[in-house]
Amino acid sequence: MCITIKMGFTDKMCNEVARHVVNDVFLVNYKPTIKENNTWYKNLNDFLVVEWDRLQETNFSQNEFTDDEEEMIARDAMDILLDNLNVDEDDFEEFEQQVDWMKFDDIIGHYTCLYL
């Protein structure tokens, strides 16, 4: 059985932006910080704290996305990242609270400005 999901223009655009932001910016910055002996959530949260602090010292330009689009981009970026890290739904639900997802959203928002 084949299930087709129809995405509108905005959904596709937000997903494409999220994919580029995660693959071309986030993972490029994140991967060198991964410590093999740490859990996925410890590595990720450690990176988020350091990267968020670093970005607070930079000029944050406004992007041209609506609030809804920014939310879609952040949600898609999280899904894309978790897929890249091979984190399944059970693992995510168990350790979701160990990651500061607000910092993740802020970082993605900053990286999105670089995409434009």
Q: Contact at 8 Å (CB) between 77 and 21?
A: yes
> In whole angstroms, what is the distance from residue 5 CA to residue 84 CA?
21
- 22-45 pLDDT tens trace: 999 999 999 999 999 999 999 999
Quick: pLDDT tens for 50-61: 999 999 888 766
Mean pLDDT, rounded, of the chain: 90
- Break the chain into its structural domains and give their ranges: 18-115
